[in-house]
Amino acid sequence: MPRNIRICDIGTKILEFFLVTSTALVISAIWFGPITRKWDFLANPAAWLAAGIAIFLIEFALFWVGIILVYTSSLQLGFKKRVIGAVCGWIPFINLFMLVGIIRTCREEVALERSLALRDKKRAGQQICVLSGF
């Protein structure tokens, strides 16, 4: 498999992980915070602030590492989708739909390239030439 496809696969997995962890964090913060009131934010505000900053930095790093890997390695993503993704990244909720679309495109690209690499590996012994006229 080509190097850029391996990088795209890693970036896609990082973005998927980011999407899952950020969703879980938002749901748990809403559930345990204002809904069930299990977390007492006022008991130790410095610890909550430190934890919030740490979580923000980790999620920030996950997103940017994943998006940079995907944007620099994907061939099927295209210029238009990259620009729309960058612009929509600043619009709440629309950014999530764009992120899912980017992940889907990159996941399909990796799957296609994997199947082509597997096909080429199986054909190697048969010495099938893909260029016509030779």
The model's pLDDT over 56-66, given as tens digits with 9 standing for 90+, comes to: 999 999 999 99
SS3 content of the chain, % helix, strand, coil (to 5): 80, 0, 20
Is the model's pTM score more than 0.95? Answer: no
Q: Does 51 map to a domain?
A: yes
Domain coverage including residue 60 = 3-117
Q: Does 89 map to a domain?
A: yes
Residue 125 Cα distances to 4, 118, 129, angstroms:
25, 13, 11
Q: 12-44, pLDDT tens digit by residue?
A: 999 999 999 999 998 988 887 777 777 777 778
Q: Does 126 map to a domain?
A: no
Q: Does 40 map to a domain?
A: yes
Q: Does 56 map to a domain?
A: yes
Q: Does 131 map to a domain?
A: no
**How many domains are contained in the chain?**
1
